[in-house]
Amino acid sequence: MKRITRRSIFRRLHITTPPSASGALTGLRVLDISRVLAGPYCAQLLSDHGAEVIKVEPPAGDETRSLGPPFIGDSAAYFSALNRNKRALALDLAQPAGREVLLRLLEDADVLIENFLPGTMEKWGLGFGEVLSRRFPRLVYCRITGFGASGPLGSLPGYDAVLQAMGGLMSINGAPEIGPTRVGTPLVDVVTGIYCAFGVMLALAAREKTGRGQMVDGCLYDTSLSLLIPHAANFFASGKVPGLTGSAHPNIAPYDKFATADGEIFLGVVNDGQFRKLCAVLDQPGWAEDPRYAGNAARLRNKEALKADLEEVLRGHEPAALCKTLMAAGVPAGPVHTVAQALDHAHTAHREMAVEAGGMRMLGVPVKLSATPGAARTAPPRFAEHTDEVLAQAGYGDEEIAKLIAEGAVRIERAGARKP
């Protein structure tokens, strides 16, 4: 059977690129074979800025499609947070024919992102060092793992909350009355995705000089430790083990949440000038002259007394109005909002951080470029939504595609899927 080339199929369809995109990364082609959070988020960051991302899912689909309720259609809302601006295909990589499809797609790819257990790609004959880097020397290969591929914990599975615990983050998050507490967002996964997107861009920049790709090695364990700022530096300097900080800062006071007449506010007073302005707004000029509060070190030593003094005065103020006055005076302060209040805030709309794409409301792009801005262009794809389109662009004819589907190497329905 004559193979249809990608170039010929593009000519036949009268298109020159995959679905319209604009941004700094337009023209970059990414295969995202990762699941759950860090890998898909890394790929989404690239897709937001114009990269063509093909999401390759296993037969049962990305696990986040099932992590609900709530559901949007047949997939959990969770999935929508990580997979916009992508096209979807499903392959059974346990089958040789499925792996051959992946290799065909890699012929035109710049980046591959995966987060299987270490050794899985090698077991499939798709290891970077022995196979992919030789066959595709310009490929940037991003591997995301829990603990890396070697060392005392190497090759073990890892999830965000487990790494928050093992990396020390839980030990500093929370209050004495409740004990160590998980950060309420999957911080380790999200930051790993950001680090890996940065790593991919570094590798692409290096490729411009050398002509060769390389591996980007992202690891949740490393990320969890990197987030210990300033706690690791404090420990290295003092030998004192950091403890639970609640909402307070270990090095700055007042830098904490405080009760008011109706709700709580957060004060972020970093220097003496801001503290004097806070005292002036609250009509407490004596605090600025009090030896207990003269300088950050003194305020830190006496932070409990300072908090008591502040809350006695703050209970006479309404939070939104007070924060507006404080900010106008140059004192960083903000009400403690609910998620709904934050997403519905006028400034959220102004910064385009709550947007709509494909009839779905979602978060916006957090990094704005003046000349080549990114965008949330399309809603997350349905399972295997772009099978024919992606395979045709890779040079597969209709009969070949039908055969791959019949053999189960390419899936168009989720294995074991249940209706929500």
Active site residues: 249
For 413, the 3-state DSSP assignment is coil
**CA distance readout (Å), 270 to 246, 283, 299, 335:** 18, 19, 11, 18
Q: How many CA atoms lie within 13 A of 39 on its CB side?
A: 31
By CB atoms closer than 10 A (0-12, 13-18, 19+), residue 406 is exposed
Query: What crossing angle do the helices spanning 187-210 and 38-48 adopt, rounded to 10°?
Result: 60
Strands 111-114 and 52-57: unpaired
Sign of CA dihedral 11, 14, 15, 19: negative
Contact 305, 292 (CB under 8 A): yes
Q: What's the CA gap between 329 and 345, in Å, rounded?
A: 21
Alpha helices by DSSP H, 329-361: 339-343, 346-350
Long-range contacts of 124-133 (CB under 8 A, 24+ apart): 124/93, 124/94, 124/99, 125/99, 126/93, 126/99, 126/102, 128/215, 129/215, 132/106, 133/213, 133/215
Check residue 14 and give left, alpha or beta (phi > 0: left; psi -120 to 50: alpha): left
How far apart, in Å, do the first and last CA atoms of the chain sit? 42
Contact 232, 169 (CB under 8 A): no
